[in-house]
Structure 1
Amino acid sequence: MAFALGMDAFSIGLGMGMFRMGWRRVLLIGMTVGLFHILMPLLGMAGGRFLSGTFGTFAGYAGGILLIILGIQMLITGLKGSGDSLIAPVGFGMIVFALSVSLDSFSVGLTLGIYGAKTVLVLVCFGTAAALLTWAGLLLGKRVQGMLGKYSVLLGGAILFAFGIKLLGIERLFL
């Protein structure tokens, strides 16, 4: 389950890795995503049975909307050809990124809380898998960015946008 939830972070990290960033930034982003993948299921597990139905659906929609916004912003930046980005994987942009990929782990945490899962084990697995998969996605995106040059931001934006559409479940409108 931790690997499946971390695959969101990998996919989105692939897109975000197309921004120019140093190794320290990659390390910090992975650690932040890992931390969010610990905090969100912890909050979910604490929420319990009462909130499960309500927030499970909301988390998917909120994550999808955040990813679409990030994707559109990257596409606009790529089309303008400017290196300045409104939302980049630094500061607030990094928090938005980490939150968008960890919202689904909140709803999973709600379910696991209902079934009495071992909290520490779940949180360590979720955080570790998310951090490792984020680093893998960012590093692969960084390599692709070097090959694609200025088009890498467009590709990264398209990946984030498509993933957001998929989370919202409205991909049928585009096919």
Structure 2
Amino acid sequence: MNPVATLFLAFAMSTDAFAAAIGKGATLHRPHWREALRTGLIFGVIEALTPLVGWFIGRAAAQYVSAWDHWIAFTLLAILGTRMIRNGFKASEADEKKPAAHSFWLLALTGFATSIDAMAVGAGLAFVDVNIYSTAAAIGLATATMVTIGVLLGRVIGDVVGKRAEMAGGVVLIGIGCVILVEHLQLL
């Protein structure tokens, strides 16, 4: 795979994480750039590791990964999105009620849910002549960049949207899960 194709693949893999990051940034109390960078790094590392895992699994049994990846991603994103919507109904209009940061585990779970497709891509790359390590690094770097920007953009959107920001982020996560599911079901 040439460098231009790798770059396009890297940014394509980061788009769902970017959308989720906007929702995460919108739910925080004026997230600082350090929180945005922390979130970006967590998502980026996970997004870099999942194609590697997929590649190794793809070497062993690609049909098993591709048969279930869309269901796993849909389920995780639907659960997280529903949780965000439910929390949005509980939210107070006061900014003081918003957290300053999300927990590591919540970010890691969201990062994993948005990177299931990268695992499937990694499984597919197992059958192509590609340097999986440089490709995974490009995917991770693109995701870290896009998520950091997304959290900061979410800060602006959160100020505009107010207490419904978390609900909007939940709807986005569920929407991403639905798109992943529909895309895979249409291929059948």
Assess same fold via TM > 0.5: yes
Relative to the length of structure 2, the TM-score reads 0.81
2:151 aligned residue (138, 150, 157): 138
User: What is the root-mean-square deviation of aligned Cα atoms in Å?
Assistant: 2.0
Letter in 2 for 1:13: A
Secondary structure class of the residue paired with 2:103: coil
Q: Distance in 1 between matches of 2:159 and 2:88?
A: 15
1:5 aligned residue (10, 13, 34): 13
Structure 2: tracts of 5 or more residues without a match: 1-8, 184-188
- Percentage of matched positions with identical amino acids: 29
Return structure 1 stretches of 4+ with deviation > 3 angstroms. 82-85
Structure 1: tracts of 5 or more residues without a match: 171-175
Q: Deviations over 1:26-75 (max 9, x none)?
A: 11110011111211111112223442111123222211111111111111
2:186 paired residue number: none
1:58 aligned residue (65, 68, 78): 68
Deviation at 1:84, TM superposition (A): 7.5
1:124 aligned residue (137, 141, 146): 137
1:18 aligned residue (15, 18, 26): 26
Deviation at 1:6, TM superposition (A): 0.8
Q: How many residues align?
A: 168
Deviation at 1:98, TM superposition (A): 1.1
Q: Deviations over 1:76-125 (max 9, x none)?
A: 1111225479xx83221011011011111111111112213112321221
Letter in 2 for 1:61: W
Relative to the length of structure 1, the TM-score reads 0.86
